[in-house]
Amino acid sequence: MTLSSIPLKERPTLVRKACEALGVAGFIIPRGDEYLGEYVAPCSDRLAWLTGFTGSAGLAVILQDAAAVFSDGRYTVQMEEQVPHDLWERRHVSMEPASDWLEKNAQGARVGYDPKLVSRSMLASWSAPGVELVPLASNPIDQAWLDRPAAPANPVINHGVELAGEASSSKRHRLAAGVRKAGQDAVVLADCTSVAWLLNIRGSDVPLTPVAHGYGLLHADGQAELFVDPARLESGLAAALGEEVTVQAPSALERRLAALGGKVVRLDPVTTPVWFETTLKAAGASVVDGNDPCTLPKAVKNLTEQAGARQAHQRDGIAMARFLHSVSMSAAGQRETDLVERLGMFRQRSADYREQSFDAISASGPNGAYPHYRAEVGKDRVLPANSVYLIDSGGQYPFGTTDITRTLWVGPESAPQDVKEAFTRVLKGNIALSRVRFPSGTTGHRLDVLARAALWQVGLDYDHGTGHGIGSYLSVHEGPQNISPAPRPTALEAGMIVSNEPGYYEPGAYGIRIENLMLVKPSSYQGAKGVFLEFEILSYTPIDRELIDVTLLDDAELAWLNAYHAEVLTRVGPVVESDVQEWLEKVCAPMMRETPGIQ
């Protein structure tokens, strides 16, 4: 999609002129929008407009005589391809943070930022000695982007209690009790997914995540204010929200914040733009830091949401079976983007399917070595015979969100032994995490090693987390829980959904990842420490037996694999076409080995 008719090479000059008029030597542009979300509407894709970089994580700094784009290891190749080298330096955000670059290139300068696009935690990460960061009342990119698309004005819809599992009034009063206990009068809700969860609403203002753009205020008495254009509410939604929820135009937000003068107001410094803090303090409010009160309750799915997740994965399992069956008959010679379209067509056969939950990663051979590779029409790869193919995708359904990865061998020859060993060790890690039982209070950080141990035994590893949280018809990447080498204080709780996605990536050759989603549930086992937890597998899709070296699996791992495939056949086999069912019976048949397995 073309963001602008203004040539890419001319845009930095226009922004530099706007910066000069605003009295600053440069400007910092984050990827996120006013809601700091993972995905942005076309009108808010400022980083892409200015630099050409379309990755989902990154930032840029433009000065009068220098400019750089920053992103992480997932997008270094994409930056090299998309960003004009004569206009922008390309930097790895971890190896050379923006703060270091600013210290080197902007000594003594005043560099602007838009306080509506930046959280306090983001701002702190940009701090550099000798550089003054200046909040601007006007965004220089918006001034230069003369043909900027209009802001989305899509309907805000009701997410009924039959899907949400709990009425908004119950959620609001449950959370308000915690607000009162903390001695606070109100909480700012700047995360659109929190607003959507709390008020049981959804929208389509950004791709891939069904949210409506809007801020919220939750008061200590359980009443709430929603700041969206009232004309956007679908028929009947105002009545569904009830008298305790006031809907006001976004233009009323500053006035309503000013009315909180003298009150104690909580905001989350990670998810809230600094503009809120500045505005509240100017009005005389006492601002206190605290976690968004919706974050943890949103992550702990109630019984209705858990049932919805199972239903969504049932729909997805059918689509994946049809897709993998089709790939088994015709993969070599197909383009990566064609396979994304094919999978989308299979998902669309369900009337409940709404859209992808993220841009599918369809990666052949060496492209698979980039964990967040995105195939583009005209630039994608044709799958050759005798190669590895990775497909990571997900769907949005009104009752749940899915995310699944499978790695396949495209024959007709057998896979090389080194590829089979790497794949099987990734599988061993997936199985180990799937089977673990752990005491209540355990964080994902403590479990991460289980997914890596088999790889570590032969000197292999992967440079990404093992698991992230998933929303309920919301964001496919949801916190606060995760499974990762990086410690987070949030313990895994019954009702949370996490991904299980160990991998291995051989640069220039292939990528391997096996991902299922799992629901945390109480275990029947009661230990000395009390309640134990375990995982219920939600994703049921065959794992490619052509890539499995069964001699590397021990007895328990082999039993788990055969039981998993038997369950795939039971759940999916009866509801697919006869030819797909016959294929499932073959690929889900028990695997045997003649030699003893190793640990």
The pLDDT of residue 459 is above 70: yes
* Greatest Cα-to-Cα distance within the chain, rounded to the nearest angstrom: 76
The H or E element containing residue 70 is: strand 67-71
Q: Looking at the structure, do residues 208 and 265 belong to the same domain, yes or no?
A: yes
Look at the chain and report how many structural domains it folds into. Answer: 3
On whether residue 597 sits in a domain, the answer given is no
Q: How far is CA 377 from the centre of its chain?
A: 23
Q: Looking at the structure, do residues 195 and 273 belong to the same domain, yes or no?
A: yes
Is-contact 56 47, C-beta < 8 A? no
The H or E element containing residue 288 is: strand 286-289
On whether residue 341 sits in a domain, the answer given is yes
Out of 97-111, 307-321, 367-381, 536-550, least confident range: 367-381
The structure tokens 């070296």 sit at 549
The pLDDT of residue 529 is above 80: no
Is-contact 224 245, C-beta < 8 A? yes
Q: Residue 288: give the domain boundaries.
A: 157-298
> Model-level pTM?
0.94
Q: Looking at the structure, do residues 467 and 477 belong to the same domain, yes or no?
A: yes
**pLDDT over 70 percentage in the chain:** 98
On whether residue 66 sits in a domain, the answer given is yes
The pLDDT of residue 1 is above 70: no
The pLDDT of residue 595 is above 70: no
239-278 pLDDT tens trace: 999 999 999 999 999 999 999 999 999 999 999 999 999 9
Q: Which residues of 501-516 are buried (b: 16+ CB within 10 A; e: fewer)?
A: bbbbbbeeebbbbbbb
Q: Looking at the structure, do residues 340 and 248 belong to the same domain, yes or no?
A: no
Tell me what the mean pLDDT of segment 98-121 comes to: 96
CB count in 10 Å sphere of residue 80: 10
Out of 56-60, 245-249, 513-517, 556-560, least confident range: 56-60
Q: pLDDT confidence of 73, banded at 50, 70, 90?
A: confident
Q: Residue 200: which CATH number?
A: 3.40.350.10
On whether residue 596 sits in a domain, the answer given is no
Q: Looking at the structure, do residues 432 and 537 belong to the same domain, yes or no?
A: yes
On whether residue 594 sits in a domain, the answer given is no
Q: Residue 355: which CATH number?
A: 3.90.230.10
Res 76: pLDDT = 81
Q: Looking at the structure, do residues 380 and 517 belong to the same domain, yes or no?
A: yes
State the pairing for strand pair 67-71/59-63.
antiparallel
Instruction: Write down which residue in 298, 324, 345 finishes a domain.
Output: 298
81-98 pLDDT tens trace: 899 999 999 999 988 999
Out of 218-222, 301-305, 523-527, 592-596, least confident range: 592-596
On whether residue 43 sits in a domain, the answer given is yes
Write the CA distances from 584 to 9, 67, 76, 544, integer angstroms: 52, 53, 38, 11
DSSP bridge partners of 89: 68
Q: pLDDT confidence of 535, banded at 50, 70, 90?
A: very high
Q: What is the overall mean pLDDT for the chain?
A: 95
The pLDDT of residue 74 is above 90: no
Q: Looking at the structure, do residues 110 and 181 belong to the same domain, yes or no?
A: no
Res 599: pLDDT = 44
Q: Looking at the structure, do residues 406 and 528 belong to the same domain, yes or no?
A: yes
Instruction: Write down which residue in 254, 274, 298 finishes a domain.
Output: 298
**pLDDT over 90 percentage in the chain:** 91
Q: Looking at the structure, do residues 200 and 338 belong to the same domain, yes or no?
A: no
Q: Looking at the structure, do residues 131 and 244 belong to the same domain, yes or no?
A: no
Number of alpha helices (DSSP H) and beta strands (DSSP E) in the chain? 19, 28
Q: What is the dihedral of CA 526, 308, 430, 405, to 10 degrees?
A: -170
Euclidean distance between the first and the last CA atom of the chain, given in angstroms as a whole number:
50
On whether residue 70 sits in a domain, the answer given is yes
Instruction: Write down which residue in 112, 144, 176 finishes a domain.
Output: 144
Strands lying side by side in the sheet with 224-227: 245-248, 224-227, 215-219, 186-189, 264-267, 286-289
Backbone angles phi, psi at 484, to 5 degrees: -165, 160
DSSP-derived 3-state class of residue 69: strand
Q: Looking at the structure, do residues 400 and 355 belong to the same domain, yes or no?
A: yes
Residue 551: DSSP 8-state: G
On whether residue 149 sits in a domain, the answer given is no
Q: Looking at the structure, do residues 286 and 308 belong to the same domain, yes or no?
A: no
Task: Report the alpha-carbon distance of residue 287 to residue 58 in Å, rounded.
Answer: 29
Q: pLDDT confidence of 217, banded at 50, 70, 90?
A: very high
